[in-house]
Amino acid sequence: MKPAKRRTLFTSALLVVCLAASVMFLRRVDQLRTNATLDVLYITSPKMVKRLSLGYDGLLADIYWTRAVQYFGSRHSEHARSYQSLYPLLEITTTLDPKLLVAYQFGANFLSPPPPHGAGVPEKAVQLVQYGIEKNPTAWKLYYDLGFIYYMELKEYEKAAEAFQKGSTIEGAHPFMKVLAAQMAQHAGDAQMARAIWTTTYETSQDKQIRANAIAHLRALKVEEDVTRIQDAVTAYGRSTGNLPAGMHTLIAAGLLPGIPIDPDGQPYKLTRGRVELANPDDFPFVTKGLPLGYVPPERKNLDKLVQ
């Protein structure tokens, strides 16, 4: 073999070996620095980031929005209880591009629900959406989001009504905004009102995740209504007979129920020692009634596994 050819072969082999070794070392570093890049915000001042963007603020906003989504996604999948960098990431995103409506809408959705479904900071969600309204006064959906947070998370019904009312006056607003504003005074806190809000969420969003979330909440509302109704029948039976009903058939025979009640999945509810329970509670993540005694939701089970 000629020396030149030998040199070429040796250099090529060395190149490949070094490339493989560098990948191996980097993977080792990644293992040692789990989530290091996701959790670290090198510059926390939104104004400073905007200045440093050199006019490419739109692109940087897209990058920060992607970081916020990735951060929320990774923390959510770990069933985290704290989302420390979420609001700063959203603040930087919206300062860089105040017209990025998706950041306000999804951002509020990430911030407001209590853990593990969200960051559990509805006040920050309100702050974010109010900034969005200030920058995009004609975006009626932001008023809807604001009303939604006030109603669902903060239970401040007057403020929710005010937000729906203001949003309903904007050109192109969904007609249901007026209905929500009008019904708020009469039905604040009712399941009927909650159903109306989740239905509007489902109808006005094109996003699969938001629609799936709305369906999950609507299913939970249906279950809670059913459980309350059946539990009332159980109480009425106990008052009149002094005994607990043996099963659903007893209640039907007593004329307290028209037939075997079924959940939204078509499964019959169970009656255990006077308690109404869901057959498959894991399929209804937002339900608070009808859960078996000592029931642990799936995410809690996973969290326990992590702790062990």
CA 175 to chain centre: 25
Q: Which two tokens stand for residue 238?
A: 């106990």
Percentages of the chain per state (helix, strand, coil), in multiples of 5: 65, 5, 30
> Smallest gap, in angstroms, from Cβ of residue 152 to another protein?
21
Residues shown for the chain: 308
Q: Which two tokens stand for residue 267?
A: 């499964």
Q: How far apart are CA 122 and CA 208, in angstroms?
A: 23
CB atoms within 10 A of CB 70: 13
Which one, 97 or 226, has the nearer CB to another protein? 97
> Which spans of this chain sit near another protein (rule: CB under 8 A)?
51, 54-59, 61-62, 65-66, 69-70, 97, 99-100, 102, 106, 207, 209
> Smallest gap, in angstroms, from Cβ of residue 133 to another protein?
16
> Smallest gap, in angstroms, from Cβ of residue 195 to another protein?
26
Which one, 172 or 175, has the nearer CB to another protein? 172
Which one, 58 or 274, has the nearer CB to another protein? 58
> Smallest gap, in angstroms, from Cβ of residue 51 to another protein?
7
CA 109 to chain centre: 5
Q: What secondary structure letter does DSSP report for 55?
A: T
Which one, 69 or 244, has the nearer CB to another protein? 69
> Smallest gap, in angstroms, from Cβ of residue 100 to another protein?
7
> Smallest gap, in angstroms, from Cβ of residue 289 to another protein?
32
Which one, 60 or 173, has the nearer CB to another protein? 60
On whether the CB atoms of residues 191 and 225 are closer than 8 A, the answer is: yes
On whether the CB atoms of residues 150 and 163 are closer than 8 A, the answer is: yes
> Smallest gap, in angstroms, from Cβ of residue 54 to another protein?
4
Which one, 26 or 102, has the nearer CB to another protein? 102
Q: How far apart are CA 193 and CA 196, in angstroms?
A: 5
The enclosing H or E element of 256 equals: none
User: Residue 6, SS3?
Assistant: helix
Q: Which two tokens stand for residue 193?
A: 């009102």
Which one, 28 or 99, has the nearer CB to another protein? 99
> Smallest gap, in angstroms, from Cβ of residue 46 to another protein?
15
In terms of Cα–Cα distance, which of 83, 90, 156 is closest to 114?
83
On whether the CB atoms of residues 164 and 177 are closer than 8 A, the answer is: yes
